[in-house]
Amino acid sequence: MNLKLIDHAKERAIQRGTTKEEIIQVITEGKEIKAKKDRKAKEKVFTYDREWLGNFYPHKKVVVIYKDENGDVIVITVKVFYGKWEG
């Protein structure tokens, strides 16, 4: 898999607290979810068990919005949610 993150996705990953390694895990292991336009999306819940912006969270959910283009996976943006999810 040839993974490319556009600048916006790189900035959001840093700002929202995820890594390229987690993004790869979401793409390869995540659950497909609905996306707008010609895009695809996947999400995966990670064990977090630490603080983010002064609050403790057991999990973080990483959502990756991307598109397939000539065999490349182009990551458009990354969203991160902190909280608790079952299973």
| Residue 43: CATH number of its domain | 3.30.2310
Beta strand 2-5 pairing with 72-83: parallel
Query: Model confidence at 73, in pLDDT bands (50, 70, 90)?
Result: very high
- Domain extent at residue 60: 2-83
5-19 pLDDT, tens digit each: 999 999 999 999 999
Instruction: Report how many domains make up the chain.
Output: 1
* Mean of per-residue pLDDT scores for the chain: 95
Cα–Cα nearest to 76, from 8, 2, 21: 8
The CA distance from 38 to 35, in Å, is: 8
Residue 67's SS3 state is strand
Q: Are 85 and 45 in contact (CB under 8 A)?
A: yes
Measured between alpha carbons, how far is residue 85 from residues 2, 19, 45, 72, 82 in Å? Answer: 30, 20, 7, 31, 9
